[in-house]
């Protein structure tokens, strides 16, 4: 199921369900391409988003559901609303009542109403009074029935509940989960080669409120997941160093004071909120535990209910007293490794400057604890890259690499589009990620200095492992169109490839740039166009890549 269609991530203030205002050019160039790719790949269902898109709710938006998804892209599966979204059309001030909501959602192309019962309560009456024809109902039901037939649900309509214990957490599934966690983690900092850590016996303190949290390891959308199968970071480290002297202290709790709506489904980690005195005592215990260790691994970030749906935050700082605890432990002078468990970019400015090693582990899933330990102790070399930009402050959001040029000359020391109280640059750029080895990009070649519109060219680059251990690098290709019908972004990612290299090995990575990569939706022209223009190319390991070439597109 491709969701949430479309523009859901661009809500005002970053708040769930709030309105989205995007130009057609922004939608088509930035937000719709992943959904278009899903249609090309054969996705069976789409789920509409909750919010208003340019003042029309996405779940009752005929331009989005019929004009683009059905008619333009040829999608022939079914579209389902998000939970209760059809009923919410009344709350949003769009529909007069449930009857009006059902009619407008159906006419817009929404096949299935999830949970609100608005279709169930109103569609029969709308057919009986002639407002809707039975043919219109047939049209909307047909793709739903086709999906059920393909899945064999008429022959076997009920799931075998015993399969949960038979299938969940099979060894092969756990192995896949561990592999996926390895691939997703991003090494943000590794000063003086602190990582990987030695497995030689030493006293290690594992500190932080998320270090032994199955919930934080599984993440914000596990809900009914098989929690006993989850391996926490603490458990992963203890399993990696069996018999080692490993002490643990969680420090003060971090809690949402407004309960998460999904909390009713799971009470496994629910506990009373700490008093101020209890939090102070837990803080001191954590500091003293760290003081008695040779090495400290701190596991900080966001609890699962602080990210995902129903979890908008007004700040990107570490919640609670986590940064205070990090500073207190760092002041002890011990080597400190910070492991982040979180569902969004965080403003970790102090940590980025003062903590020698930082691993972004996200919400790593069932085998997350083992995967973190594999990376910390060198059994796996991290090769993940940031799929987002890390801002220095929530006030910098939205912040992305593919911005367009300001009208103010950037080379001017006085007149520049910037913040006067902080750097304009991100804390960590899009595509960034370190490794336990080093890589060098060289010999960038473009197959032709110029091509005509509609033609393709090939870009090749050599990537060498210049370090001492095998590792993965992600070669990333960015372009910039220098002029055209519209102003174009400073950089756009147009290709990437993850490769594994042995020490001293070099591989050539090849990209193709053709009409699909060089065409864009023009706000000026109101259609897809390809300009005759000059282009910059950069290839490297992140969005700040410096290896450069140029080419020209002619008529």
Provide the pLDDT for residue 225: 60
Question: Mean per-residue pLDDT for 360-371?
Answer: 97
What is this structure's pTM?
0.94
Pairing relationship of beta strands 527-529 and 492-501 according to DSSP bridges: unpaired
Contact 469, 379 (CB under 8 A): no
| pLDDT at 251 > cutoff 80 | yes
Asked whether residue 193 carries a pLDDT value surpassing 60, the answer given is yes
Where residue 270 falls among pLDDT bands split at 50, 70, 90? low
Report the phi/psi class of residue 364: left, alpha or beta, with left for phi > 0 and alpha for psi in -120 to 50: alpha
pLDDT (tens digit per residue) in 313-324: 888 999 999 999
Q: How many CA atoms lie within 13 A of 50 on its CB side?
A: 19
pLDDT band at 395 (very low <50, low <70, confident <90, very high): confident
Cα–Cα distance list, 330 to 189, 208, 243 (Å)? 15, 13, 26
Mean pLDDT in residue range 504-524: 98
Place of tokens 């009619």: 103
Q: What CA–CA distance (Å, rounded) separates 55 from 512?
A: 39
pLDDT at 153 over 80: yes
Return the exposure string of 516-541: e unless at least 16 CB atoms fall within 10 Å of the residue's CB, then b. Answer: ebbebbbeeeeeebbbebebebbbbb
pLDDT at 415 over 70: no
Asked whether residue 295 carries a pLDDT value surpassing 90, the answer given is: yes
Q: What is the pLDDT of residue 194?
A: 98
Q: Is the per-residue pLDDT at 8 higher than 70?
A: yes
User: Which among 30, 52, 82, 212 is annotated as catalytic?
Assistant: 82
Least confident segment among 264-268, 334-338, 369-373: 264-268
Burial bucket for residue 337 (CB in 10 Å: 0-12, 13-18, 19+): buried
What is the pLDDT of the chain when averaged over all its residues?
Answer: 93
Annotated catalytic residue 486: no
Give the pLDDT band of residue 405 (cuts 50, 70, 90): confident
At residue 159 the predicted structure's pLDDT band, cuts being 50, 70 and 90, is: confident
**CATH top-level class for 167-376?**
alpha beta
Stronger pLDDT, 167 or 37, i.e. the higher one: 37
Pick the CATH number of 2-151 from 3.40.50.720, 3.40.30.10, 3.20.20.300, 3.40.50.300: 3.20.20.300
DSSP string, 280-296: HHHHHHHHHHHHT-SEE
Taking only the tens place, the pLDDT of each residue in 492-502 is: 999 999 999 99
Domain with CATH 2.60.40.10 in the chain: 439-554
Q: What is the pLDDT of residues 84-138, one digit of tens each?
A: 999 999 999 999 999 999 999 999 999 999 999 999 999 999 999 999 999 999 9
- pLDDT value at 5 more than 80: yes
CATH of 439-554, one of 3.40.50.12500, 1.20.1600.10, 3.30.70.560, 2.60.40.10: 2.60.40.10
Give pLDDT tens digits for 462-499: 999 999 999 999 999 999 999 999 999 999 999 999 99
Q: What is the pLDDT of residue 409?
A: 54
Domain boundaries for CATH 3.20.20.300 within the chain? 2-151
The residue-averaged pLDDT of 349-372 equals 98
């Amino acid at each position: 199921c491709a969701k949430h269609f479309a523009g859901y991530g661009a809500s005002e203030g970053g708040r769930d369900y709030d309105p989205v205002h995007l130009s057609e050019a922004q939608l088509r160039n930035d937000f719709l391409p992943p959904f278009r790719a899903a249609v090309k790949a054969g996705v069976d269902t789409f789920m509409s988003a909750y919010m208003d898109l340019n003042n029309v709710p996405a779940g009752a938006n005929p331009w989005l559901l019929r004009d683009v998804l059905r008619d333009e892209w040829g999608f022939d599966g079914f579209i389902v609303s998000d939970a209760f979204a059809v009923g919410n059309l009344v709350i949003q001030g769009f529909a007069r009542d449930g009857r009006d909501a059902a009619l407008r959602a159906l006419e817009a192309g929404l096949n299935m109403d999830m949970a609100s019962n608005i279709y169930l309560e109103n569609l029969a009456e709308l057919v009986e009074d002639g407002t809707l024809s039975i043919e219109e109902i047939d049209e909307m039901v047909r793709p739903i029935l086709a999906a059920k037939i393909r899945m064999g649900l008429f022959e076997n309509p009920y799931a075998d509940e015993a399969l949960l214990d038979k299938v969940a957490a099979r060894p092969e599934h756990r192995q896949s989960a561990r592999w996926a966690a390895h691939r997703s983690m991003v090494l943000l900092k590794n000063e003086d080669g602190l990582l990987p850590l030695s497995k030689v016996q030493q006293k290690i303190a594992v500190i932080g409120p998320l270090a032994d949290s199955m919930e934080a390891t599984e993440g914000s959308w596990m809900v009914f997941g098989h929690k006993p199968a989850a391996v926490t970071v603490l458990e992963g480290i203890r399993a990696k160093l069996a018999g080692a002297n490993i002490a643990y202290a969680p420090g003060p709790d971090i809690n949402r004071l407004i309960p998460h709506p999904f909390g009713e489904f799971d009470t496994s980690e629910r506990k009373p909120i700490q008093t101020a005195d209890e939090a102070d005592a837990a803080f001191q215990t954590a500091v003293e535990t760290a003081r008695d260790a040779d090495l400290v691994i701190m596991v900080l970030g966001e609890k699962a209910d602080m990210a995902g749906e129903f979890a908008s935050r007004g700040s990107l700082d570490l919640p609670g007293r986590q940064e205070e605890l990090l500073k207190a432990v760092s002041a002890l002078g011990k080597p400190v490794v910070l492991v982040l468990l979180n569902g969004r970019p965080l403003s970790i400015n102090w940590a980025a400057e003062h903590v020698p090693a930082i691993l972004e582990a996200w919400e790593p899933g069932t085998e997350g604890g083992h995967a973190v330990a594999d990376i910390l102790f060198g059994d796996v070399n991290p090769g993940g890259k940031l799929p987002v930009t890390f801002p220095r402050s929530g006030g910098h959001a939205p912040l992305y690499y593919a911005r367009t040029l300001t009208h103010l000359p950037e080379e001017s020391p006085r007149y520049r589009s910037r913040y006067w109280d902080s750097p304009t640059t991100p804390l960590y750029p899009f595509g960034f990620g370190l490794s336990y080895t080093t890589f060098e990009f060289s010999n960038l070649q473009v197959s032709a200095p110029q091509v005509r519109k509609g033609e393709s060219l090939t870009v090749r680059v050599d990537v060498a492992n210049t370090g001492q251990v095998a590792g993965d690098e992600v070669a990333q290709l960015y372009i910039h169109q220098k002029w055209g019908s519209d102003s174009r972004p400073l950089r756009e990612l147009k290709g990437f490839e993850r490769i594994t290299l042995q020490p001293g090995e070099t591989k050539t990575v090849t990209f193709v740039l053709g009409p699909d990569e060089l065409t864009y939706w023009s706000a000026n022209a109101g259609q897809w166009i390809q300009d005759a223009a000059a282009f910059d190319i950069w290839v490297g390991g992140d969005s700040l890549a410096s290896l450069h070439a140029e080419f020209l597109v002619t008529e």
